[in-house]
């Protein structure tokens, strides 16, 4: 069903308060008179400040978010599920809590989460077609959002099982880029990216298993943080996609992304990975010092001959020049990636197979997903265990860039190409889709194999106005350094002053 089609709100275990269809207007009702579309919502920290100062109310912010989502759903199609009545009820409760003197980091602030994340009372389709039962409980990340007072207004679109750098599928249609709706916002967190870029919500959670936060952040002019593995819990999954996938924030500013990271960071008791805590918001206010930054143009081996599009290279070169002007030492270098793809492919396809095997109607899955399921099934067991065992050696080999060569940060393009047009990947076989993906997005996925952090920062625009990005990559547990550097860049380049025309 197209996300532009109206649907009735469906009752769930949580009561008749969740709108589980992908549309934003109930069917069987006369259309309401056209109302002015609310202005883009303020950022996360600004929303929290306005609420704390009693300059606005949570009810007003949430109502504006829902109205803006409804107005843009036929064109952007950012959301799969909305919580209209429940979100408004939670906003009213937040206003009562404010009046009683309660204060929390995000009390009353509307946010969105990607539809691979469990929200009690809503199904988790993860981009797939077919019926799924509503989740009985919140994921750990959503539990922490609620504990901080945030109001989850809905779940954003993702491609099927998060496999591709575009957000399109038969289950929900195509999610479109607010900067140019003929183009994809990227994937797989494309719905979250489109929602934040268009000002539908102040910030959103995505997930990143091969660049799925950083790629859509690059293609929608956002800050996207892929944190250290385990920094944000992926529970109820203990080791999502064989350790490749982490949750991460998408926001228009470094401070907002850091605030969201601080709010949702932390382990569930059953989590495998438990890195020590960081103070991301503090890092966003700290001078990074003078750093040695390696600029790498050559991606890891993908057998596609991929290199950066001239317009991507121009934008990232300009960003590197900014870093040098700010006092950092920037030098071209070549990380020793080796044959890291031989470790990535088994882990990725086995991860897809594990999720696909849970689908109650496998025939509804995209043929490319079924192909990945077959490959992942063949590579499970000894092959994937051997792939994971190589991670320690990969840490040493690629980590030599930091430990031996003395660099503090690696700078690369986030993608090799600007955002492709909607439909670019339609009707391609699984193999041709993989080749096209590898050519467009060869830079992000190695850091998922390593489990190390990275931050996408906006790098500028092509001559036709399409956003492109650069990624700041670091060694294990280096989020604070990367965030401080990103914030320094933001102070100079002020990318948050540019908004899409939606």
* Residues taking part in catalysis: 114, 188, 212
Sign of CA dihedral 368, 374, 375, 376: positive
Q: How far is CA 72 from CA 125, 158, 502, in A?
A: 22, 17, 8
141: helix, coil or strand? helix
Cross-strand bridge partners of residue 250: 204, 224
Question: Which helix (H) or strand (E) covers residue 439, if one does?
Answer: helix 430-440
Residue 32 CB coordination number (10 Å): 8
Decide: 328 and 290 in contact? Cβ < 8 Å: yes
Residue 296 and residue 332 in contact, taking contact as beta carbons nearer than 8 Å: yes
Written in H, E and C, the secondary structure of 373-403 is: HHHHHHHCCHHHHHHHHCHHHHHHHHHHHHH
- Helix intervals (H) in 154-279: 190-197, 214-220, 254-264
For residue 325, the surrounding DSSP H or E stretch is helix 310-325
Residue 3 near residue 173, CB atoms below 8 Å = yes
Q: Please state, in angstroms and rounded to a whole number, the distance separating the CA atoms of residues 460 and 149.
A: 34
411 touches 489 (CB < 8 A): no
3-state SS, 409-425, equals EEEEECCCCCCCECCCC
CA 374 to chain centre: 27
Region class of 161: left (phi > 0), else alpha (psi between -120 and 50), else beta? left
What does the alpha-carbon distance between residue 192 and residue 3 come to, in Å, rounded to a whole number?
Answer: 15
């Amino acid at each position: 069903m197209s996300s532009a089609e109206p649907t009735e709100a469906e009752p769930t275990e949580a009561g008749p308060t969740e709108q589980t269809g992908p549309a934003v207007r109930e069917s069987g009702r006369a259309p309401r008179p056209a109302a002015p579309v609310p202005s883009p919502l303020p950022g996360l920290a600004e929303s929290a400040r306005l609420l704390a100062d009693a300059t606005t109310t949570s009810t007003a912010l949430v109502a504006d978010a829902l109205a803006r989502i409804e107005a843009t759903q036929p064109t952007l199609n950012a959301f799969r599920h909305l919580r209209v009545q429940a979100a408004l009820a939670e906003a009213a409760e937040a206003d009562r809590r404010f009046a009683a003197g309660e204060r929390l980091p995000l009390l009353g602030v509307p946010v969105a989460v990607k539809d691979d994340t469990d929200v009690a009372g809503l199904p988790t389709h993860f981009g797939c077609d077919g019926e799924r039962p509503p989740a009985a409980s919140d994921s750990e990340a959503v539990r922490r959002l609620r504990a901080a007072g945030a109001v989850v207004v809905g779940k954003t679109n993702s491609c099927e099982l998060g496999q591709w750098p575009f957000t399109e599928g038969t289950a929900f249609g195509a999610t479109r880029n607010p900067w140019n709706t003929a183009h994809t916002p990227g994937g797989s967190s494309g719905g979250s990216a489109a929602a934040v870029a268009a000002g539908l919500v102040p910030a959103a959670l995505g997930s990143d298993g091969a660049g799925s936060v950083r790629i859509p952040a690059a293609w929608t002019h956002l800050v996207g943080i892929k944190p250290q593995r385990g920094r944000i819990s992926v529970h109820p999954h203990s080791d999502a996609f064989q350790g490749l996938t982490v949750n991460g924030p998408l926001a228009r500013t470094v401070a907002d992304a850091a605030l969201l990271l601080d709010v949702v960071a932390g382990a569930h008791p059953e989590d495998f990975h438990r890195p020590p805590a960081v103070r991301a918001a503090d890092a966003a206010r700290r001078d990074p010092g003078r750093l040695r930054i390696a600029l790498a143009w050559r991606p890891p081996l993908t057998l596609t001959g991929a290199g950066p599009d001239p317009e991507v290279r121009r934008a990232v070169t300009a960003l590197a020049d900014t870093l040098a002007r700010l006092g950092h030492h920037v030098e071209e270098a070549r990380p020793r990636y080796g044959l890291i793809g031989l470790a990535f492919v088994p882990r990725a396809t086995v991860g897809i197979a594990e999720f696909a095997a849970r689908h109650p109607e496998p025939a509804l899955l995209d043929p490319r997903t079924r192909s990945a399921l077959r490959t992942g099934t063949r590579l499970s067991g000894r092959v994937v265990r051997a792939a994971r065992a190589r991670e320690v050696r990969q840490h040493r080999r690629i980590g030599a860039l930091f430990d031996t060569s003395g660099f503090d940060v690696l700078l690369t393009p986030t993608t090799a190409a600007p955002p492709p047009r909607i439909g670019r990947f339609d009707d391609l076989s699984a193999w041709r889709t993989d080749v096209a993906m590898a050519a467009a997005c060869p830079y992000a996925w190695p850091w998922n194999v390593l489990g190390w952090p990275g931050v996408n920062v906006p790098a500028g625009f092509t001559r036709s106005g399409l956003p492109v990005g650069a990624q700041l990559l670091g060694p294990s547990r280096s989020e604070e350094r990367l965030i401080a550097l990103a914030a320094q860049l933001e102070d100079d380049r002020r990318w948050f002053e540019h908004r899409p025309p939606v």
